Amino acid sequence: MKVLPFTILVPADRSVVSEEIELPYFYPYLHRHEEWQLTWVEQGEGTLIAGNNMHVFSSGDIFLVGANLPHLFKSNPDYFSTESGKSVKAHSIYFNTKNTLSGLFDLPELKAANSFLDNYKHGFKIPANQCTKIAAQIKQIHHSAGMVLLSNFLSLMNMIQSIDNDVEVLCPEVYSASLTENEGMRLSRIINFIMKNYHNKIDLEDISNTAYMNPHAFCRYFKKHTGHTFVSFLNEVRVNDACKKLLSEGNPESIANVAYKVGFNSVNNFNRVFKSVKGKTPSEYMDAYNKVSNIN
């Protein structure tokens, strides 16, 4: 499974690349590229793996992904079923401040934008109250060309750098994205195995075999490259899926059903792990969400 690098095809007449997709599910492999990526998920749900961190995403979310940051928009398992009828729709902007746009970003007028991107080198999630206007600007860029495209892009950069400092960063500043291609391939194989099988029992022996390592070497390797133990990473994946199931608008499931569906062997264990990850029990988490929804 080839992961690193991933090449963005840049048309000869554009220095800012825009892309619109509508597919059964998102590109399923961990990858990285030299360009910054701004992605508006118009339709779809899943988990964003970004560096050594994870973020639940749903329709309407927008993420700015840093240059060279290994990432994966992993669609929920039901998107891979041909019978689900589900699909994803997303709009992305790619830009390279060190290559095609280096002349523009070297201008003194872009000094503040450069500083902002340096401060958030791994990227962040766009706050919900900013998503509507930024999504509209992404569409403007997609439907423009020439000088109008550059003008719209500069307006977008101005919107992004005007966002206040209270943002959800994609991964810690100390995270190093300097994976070799072989390491990226191995890590991608591990993460994809987890994302496909987290709802089942995964033994340390199983996941170690996926990486072609003995269990002791695997544990050290996984901790080094993700900042998580295997168990803590697996628990976060399961809890993130549980959150989506508990808050499902159509037909929310009981806590017990959710616990077993996402891979826990007992409700008590699920409650304990859920609280350690989210700081609340499942019922407290649902109550807090419902209170905010009622206020809105």
For residue 72, being part of any structural domain is answered with yes
Give the CATH number of the domain where residue 160 resides: 2.60.120.280
Of 121, 148, 169, the residue that ends a domain is 169
E strand map for 1-127: 17-23, 36-43, 46-50, 53-57, 62-65, 71-75, 88-95, 123-125
Of 114, 149, 169, the residue that ends a domain is 169
User: In degrees rounded to 5, what are phi and psi of residue 118?
Assistant: -65, -35
Mark out the alpha helices in 58-175 (DSSP H runs): 102-105, 111-119, 131-142, 146-161
Model confidence band, residue 238 (pLDDT cutoffs 50, 70, 90): very high
User: In degrees rounded to 5, what are phi and psi of residue 169?
Assistant: -70, 150
For residue 174, being part of any structural domain is answered with no
pLDDT of residue 261: 93
pLDDT of residue 1: 34
250-284 tens-digit pLDDT: 666 789 999 999 999 999 999 999 999 999 999 99
- In the sheet with 36-43, reading across from the earlier edge strand, the strands are 17-23, 88-95, 36-43, 62-65, 123-125, 168-169
For residues 94 and 144, membership in a common domain is answered with: yes
- What range defines the domain where residue 268 resides? 198-295
For residues 144 and 227, membership in a common domain is answered with: no
Number of domains making up the chain: 2
For residue 251, being part of any structural domain is answered with yes
Q: What average pLDDT does the segment 142-152 reach?
A: 93
pLDDT at 177 over 80: no
β-bridge mates for residue 90, sequence order: 21, 41
pLDDT of residue 4: 45
**Quick one: tokens of 27?**
């590109």
42-98 tens-digit pLDDT: 999 888 988 878 888 989 999 999 998 888 898 887 888 888 889 999 999 999 999
Distant-in-sequence, close-in-space partners of 223: CB < 8 Å, separation ≥ 6: 229
pLDDT of residue 8: 55
Give the separation between CA 123 and CA 129, rounded to whole angstroms.
18
For residues 217 and 131, membership in a common domain is answered with: no
For residues 66 and 142, membership in a common domain is answered with: yes
121-132 tens-digit pLDDT: 999 999 989 999
Give the CATH number of the domain where residue 209 resides: 1.10.10.60
pTM for the whole structure: 0.76
For residues 162 and 30, membership in a common domain is answered with: yes
